[in-house]
Amino acid sequence: MDLAGAGKRIRIYIGESDQRHGSPLYLVILDTLRAEGCAGATVVRGIAGFGAHSRIHTASLLDVSADLPIVVEWIDTTDRVARVLPKVRALLSEGMITCEEIEVVFYQARLVSDLTNHLPVRDVMTTDVVTVQPTTPLRGAAALFIGKIYRAAPVVDDHRRVVGMVSNGDLVERGGLRVRLELLGILTAEQIAHELSVVEDGKTVADAMTSPAITVPSDAKLADVAHLMVTRRLKRVPVVDNQGTLLGIVSRADLLRTRSDAFPRPVVEGPPRIGRTIGEVMRTDIPVVSRTASLAEVVDAVVSTRLNRAIVVDEENHVVGVVSDAELLRRLSPEDHPSLVRILTSRLPFVHLGPRERSALAHALGKTAEDLMDAEVPTVPADSPLGEAIEVMIKGQHKLLPVVDAGGKLLGAADRADLLRTLVALQSQEA
């Protein structure tokens, strides 16, 4: 992101005790700015002050519960401020926001390097792992995943040695489950019981699992693990000791977070928003970055939520692409992102390179969201019926569907779970 030059400084004056949906308002504002791909913001806590109510608040030892003044200062480009400021304004029920023209003399975003071979996978793996055994009934294994964000589990023997993996695809392709796990989780209890009953009696995890499992030792280096996951198209890999005993599991997001300042926001799945158009049920808390966003900003946005994706927009908030965790992992795995040297040593003039080679070269040299994104992303108008939106999503096998206004500007997005939860809620109302 090139922030140097003319810009704007926004100051947001609120109280320390101000809340939004049960969270401190200043944190909600920061989350909103980060999700929108803003350059950065700082929260300053005052030691004394008074506002519209004319009450003086001080940081006194005798009054430790005082509602101290908070100032959120946000500096960004004029275009981004124009796009994001209305969303910030909507978060405040009282307080003050000021805006002033400034000149940015120097700005350097945090740089992101390739995944390192200095850090072992044991330092980033998740140790709290749900497992199943080969003898676990397949219906019981499927039930373990309902309502969870993970879609696979290591299969272990009585000594916790990894003997396989069972995933969403395994349960459908070999287990006989008719509904994928992300869809199963949004059905009613009665519907879930019916779908699980379809699985044959007596079928166990051993009948569906992928075996042997691909595992990595705990001292494996991050770059090597990333290369393995990219080349084998793996979303997660069990981590084992010398005897093959399970120690933990590492995912794409775990690796990417080693290059990020972001932490995933907690997933709170409330009741579905009822409506018959995509605009009525879409979510607005989606990670968004500008097409000029740096690699560091893109990584932060992608790993900030369970979506593992970020929508890329232009200066006028039109959707221009989507960046996924899979592409970022490929970009940060030093053995897997295309090398300029390899392309040049092919002795082909750049003008003679085909579309695939040109795309590979752009990704190899890419430093912005525009270089890393998939530009083939469909959008739907906010007034599209749910059925049409679902058809677009399924036809293109897309996991995230941006929603736009009549001018093509981004309003929000929906994923598969959002749409299907809504359909189930509508069916319940009609029943």
Q: Supply the pLDDT for residue 347.
A: 40
Q: Is the pLDDT of residue 88 over 80?
A: yes
Q: Supply the pLDDT for residue 158.
A: 95
Nearest-angstrom CA–CA distance, 217 and 244: 8
Number of other residues whose CB lies within 10 A of the CB of residue 275: 14
Residue appearing with tokens 């069916």? 427
- Smallest Cα–Cα separation from 222: which of 124, 154, 129? 124
Number of other residues whose CB lies within 10 A of the CB of residue 316: 12
Domain architecture of the chain: domains with CATH: 5-104 (3.30.70.120), 121-257 (3.10.580.10), 278-430 (3.10.580.10)
* Bridge partner list, 155: 132, 164
The better pLDDT of the pair 55, 80 is held by 80
Q: Is the pLDDT of residue 155 over 80?
A: yes
Instruction: Give the pLDDT mean for 115-132.
Output: 88
- Smallest Cα–Cα separation from 37: which of 80, 90, 73? 80
Burial label, 370 (beta-carbon count in 10 A; 0-12, 13-18, 19+): buried
Q: Supply the pLDDT for residue 9.
A: 94
User: Cis link prior to 212 (omega < 30° from 0)?
Assistant: yes
CA-to-CA dists, residue 270 to 48, 87, 418, angstroms? 38, 21, 11
Nearest-angstrom CA–CA distance, 393 and 384: 13
Reading the block at residue 358, the tokens are 């040109």
Query: Are 30 and 43 a contacting pair, CB within 8 Å?
Result: yes
The better pLDDT of the pair 372, 241 is held by 241
Q: What is the distance between the terminal CA atoms of the chain, rounded to a whole angstrom?
A: 52
Instruction: Give the pLDDT mean for 201-230.
Output: 92
Q: Which helix (H) or strand (E) holds 427?
A: helix 416-430
Q: Are strands 236-240 and 246-251 parallel, antiparallel or unpaired?
A: antiparallel
Q: What pLDDT, in 10s, does the model give residues 28-57?
A: 999 888 777 777 789 998 877 766 555 555
The better pLDDT of the pair 246, 416 is held by 246
For all residues of the chain together, what is the average pLDDT?
81
Number of other residues whose CB lies within 10 A of the CB of residue 97: 15
Query: Are 278 and 382 a contacting pair, CB within 8 Å?
Result: yes
- Helix 189-197 / helix 138-145 crossing angle, nearest 10 deg: 150
Nearest-angstrom CA–CA distance, 171 and 142: 7
Residue appearing with tokens 């280096």? 221
CA 338 to mean position of chain CA atoms: 24
Residue 62 binned pLDDT confidence (cut-offs 50, 70, 90)? very low
Number of other residues whose CB lies within 10 A of the CB of residue 336: 19
CA-to-CA dists, residue 350 to 263, 287, 373, angstroms? 40, 34, 21
Q: Supply the pLDDT for residue 340.
A: 45
**Three-state secondary-structure class, residue 251:** strand
Amino acid identity of residue 340, one-letter, is: L
Tell me how many degrees the CA angle 35-37-38 measures, rounded to the nearest 5: 110
Q: Supply the pLDDT for residue 272.
A: 55
Q: Is the pLDDT of residue 341 over 50?
A: no
Q: Is the pLDDT of residue 81 over 80?
A: yes
- For the ranges 3-7, 99-103, 189-193, the lowest mean pLDDT is seen at 3-7
Amino acid identity of residue 320, one-letter, is: V
Q: What pLDDT, in 10s, does the model give residues 391-427?
A: 888 777 788 899 999 999 999 998 877 776 676 666 5
The better pLDDT of the pair 190, 406 is held by 406
Q: Supply the pLDDT for residue 267.
A: 52
- For the ranges 31-40, 100-109, 315-324, the lowest mean pLDDT is seen at 31-40
Q: Is the pLDDT of residue 65 over 60?
A: no
The better pLDDT of the pair 240, 258 is held by 240
Q: Supply the pLDDT for residue 329.
A: 82
**Alpha-helical regions (H) of 243-368:** 252-257, 278-281, 295-302, 325-332, 340-344, 355-365
Q: Supply the pLDDT for residue 360.
A: 54
Instruction: Give the pLDDT mean for 104-129.
Output: 81
Nearest-angstrom CA–CA distance, 334 and 221: 12
Instruction: Give the pLDDT mean for 241-257.
Output: 92
Amino acid identity of residue 270, one-letter, is: G
Q: Supply the pLDDT for residue 342.
A: 46
Dihedral angle of Cα 202, 206, 210, 216, to the nearest 10 degrees: 140
Q: Supply the pLDDT for residue 423.
A: 65
Whole-structure pTM value: 0.67
Dihedral sign from CA coordinates of 4, 8, 11, 12: negative
- For the chain, helix (H) and strand (E) counts, in that order, are 16, 19
Q: Supply the pLDDT for residue 172.
A: 85
